[in-house]
Each structure stands twice: as C-alpha cells, then as structure tokens.
Amino acid sequence: MDSVSILDKLIAFATVSRDSNLDLIRYVAELLEAHGIASQVIPSEDGHKANLFATIGPAGMAGVMLSGHTDVVPVDGQDWTLPPFEMTSRDGRLYGRGAADMKGFVACAISACIKASKLPLKTPLHLALSYDEEVGCIGVRSLIEMLQDAPQRPLLCIVGEPTNMQVATGHKGKIGARAVCRGREGHSALAPLALNAIHLGCDFVAALRAEQERLATQGARDGDYDIPYTTVHVGKMNAGVALNIVPNLCTLDFEIRNIAADDASAILDRLRAEAKRIATAAASAAPEAAIDIEIFNTYPGLDTPAVSQAVAFVKSLTGANGTIKVAYGTEGGFFSRDVGVPTVVCGPGSMAQGHKPDEFVSVEQLSRCDDMLEKLLDRLAEDTPLAI
C-alpha cells in the first residue's frame, strides 16, 4: 500500500489522547503481518493503549529506527469545514486531524516497512509507534525501557514530526509544574482578616514573569530557535467558589522550556525559593500560608551536534544543506539521553498546520518523505555497514 492509502486509514481512527489507540495499533500490526512482518505490541498498564515496535531485516543487528506517535489533539471547539476523522483530498492537500501531526509520517514509515519486507536488507529497519505524546511524551517511556534492555540499540532514530522535510537537530526540554497556593478562607466582607490564595498565586505569577525577564535579558542564547532563550509560561489558574468567599486554595500550572545551555532544575530551584519567600512573608497574617510546587510532567531536550555523522547521513537522504531546531518537544530527547541513540527530527508537513481546524499535509510533502525513506532502504540494502 502507498502512503496516501495508509494515511486515509490512519486518519479514520479518532486517536485523541484521552481515548484508546488500540484499533489503530491492531490495524498496523495486521497490515505488517500481512506482509510477513512481526511486531511487538506493548500495552499500557491499564491496557487501554499500546505502543508498537517492529523490525524488518536481519535480527540481532543495530538498525535505523523510524519513530512516530499515534495520538492526536482534540477537535472540540474548533471550526472544521471538513470532517476531521475522514481524509479529504483537495487541491494537492490531504485534510484530517493528524494529517500533519503526525500520521503523515507514520503512513510513510509503514509504507517503507512494507517495501523493506521485499528487499534483502543488510541493516535492519525499525518502526516505533507510541501513544500519549501530545500530553507529555508519556507512552514512549515503555519503549525506552525496552530499548535500554535490548542487546542491540538502533544506530540512528528519525522522529518524523513535521519539519517540511528539513533536518532538525534539536528542541527544548520541558518541565510542567503546578503551584498549590494555600491561604485562609473567610467572608469577603472581612477579607483583610483572611488570606486570599489568589493573591498568593498572583504574587507567584509575578515571580515567574520576573524569571522570564531575567532569562530573556541575561540567560543563555541559542540562535537556531525562533525564541532563542528559555521560556517560562503560565497556562492555567484555578481558584474560588463564590464571590463572597475569600478563597483558601489557588492552583496554577506553569512550564519551563529550556535550551540545552540552561539547567531547568536550577531554574525551578530559584522559583521554589521565590515561592517560599512569598509564603513566608504571608505567614505573618496567616501561619498556614504556603506555596508548594509539584512536577507533573517532564521530558528532556534534544541537542544532536549538527556536525555529527548521524546528521550528515540524514542530510544525504533529503538533500538538505543545513539544519534547523524546532520549538515543540518530541520523544527524540528520550531516545538520545536515555538510550544513547543519535536522533534527528525530520518529517512531512508543517507544525503551522498542527492542532488547527482543517489540518492538512500536502501530497508533495508526503512524496518527499517517501523519497527520503526509499533512499534509506537503498542504503540499508548495501553490503557496506552504515557509518553512523
């Protein structure tokens, strides 16, 4: 099957992160099996979702791994003019949720696996599909554990997030955290006798903004990024029950997206110190005042040297002259840091289309990805071992 036909099938599976991806995984496993390719399905702890790993070619050897995620973001509240979970082909574009992010690459990778099954590969091709990437690269972690225990680890990983088929060597790391601010409740008519937890939260937001200003003006820089410094962002704030009650609890979710030159843990330590300072100052009015910070998600950044053999190899497949870095995160940081696999990001489409209504990938981009992977198969079929 060609990549467009496979993409048509993949889009029809509504694999929003909050829902199961098992039907899609079964489809891929059965399709591979029909072409003589065995795959390993790795279920989540609750059995509601699963990863998939397959190898084509000689066993017991290190190969090249193609990695992609199977989940997509919701379409709720978006003004789609086309059916989101039904592929629509129009004017050289293929529309549907996940077309760009990133079922387009997954379709190309599956098509490449089917082609590989008919070739006498000397170096194996690996396929790794994960779940829950869109909510913090959660599902891939069981794949990481499997690869850490494997006798042979991949020579190279290509993560197929949309880059317009440019070769990306890096992305920022991320810490997702929640600040739990505790005050003292009371009647709003007697507000000065209470301690408003929202006020504590606002004071902490001011500390976050001050840290962002420090990073922007004094922090490390990496000019390969659109935003060349580490960023701090507040995304959610929840508090209050009724207008006439001084709230005793306020929670806010924030994130740190750090470039490689910055230590995210050190930034978080500074923010914890600021939280303690704010709470200590408020304790004179209410001893129960506190701001506790909990980390609920984290993933490492990716920073593959642009002069590495791995990057040169992928550039030779795409014809690229230069490299880029991307703003969004991927599972690539885990493969690089925890498994020691040289990793790049390169896939069809643009993230400018991702997460939006009427998401699409162009037929031209899919074709370029197919061409890259066909060149990869040619290299995997050569008698000379890959120098990566």
CA distance from start to end of the chain? 30
- Kind and range of the H or E element at 310? helix 309-318
| 179 beta partners | 252, 293
Give dist(CA 15, CA 139) in Å, integer.
13
Convert 181-206 into a string of H (helix), E (strand) and C (coil): EECECEEHHHHHHCECHHHHHHHHHH
Is 145 an active-site residue?
Answer: no
Give the side-chain half-sphere CA count within 13 A for 336.
22
Give dist(CA 129, CA 139) in Å, integer.
9
Helix, strand, coil content of the chain in percent (nearest 5): 35, 25, 40
Give dist(CA 373, CA 309) in Å, integer.
18
Give dist(CA 174, CA 255) in Å, integer.
7
Q: Which of 226, 206, 227, 225 is nearest to 216 (CA)?
A: 227
Which amino acid does the sequence have at 188?
A: S
Active-site entry in 8, 71, 203, 359: 71
Q: Which of 314, 338, 337, 322 is nearest to 386 (CA)?
A: 314
CB 127 within 8 A of CB 105: no
Active-site entry in 8, 101, 133, 370: 133
The structure tokens listed for 264 are 């995210």
- Helix 22-34 vs helix 104-116: crossing angle, to nearest 10: 20
Which amino acid does the sequence have at 155?
A: L
Is 383 an active-site residue?
Answer: no
Q: Let me know the angle formed at the C-alpha of 351 by 125 and 160, rounded to the nearest 5 degrees.
A: 5
- β-sheet with 360-362: strand ranges across: 88-90, 93-95, 360-362
Report the catalytic residues.
71, 133
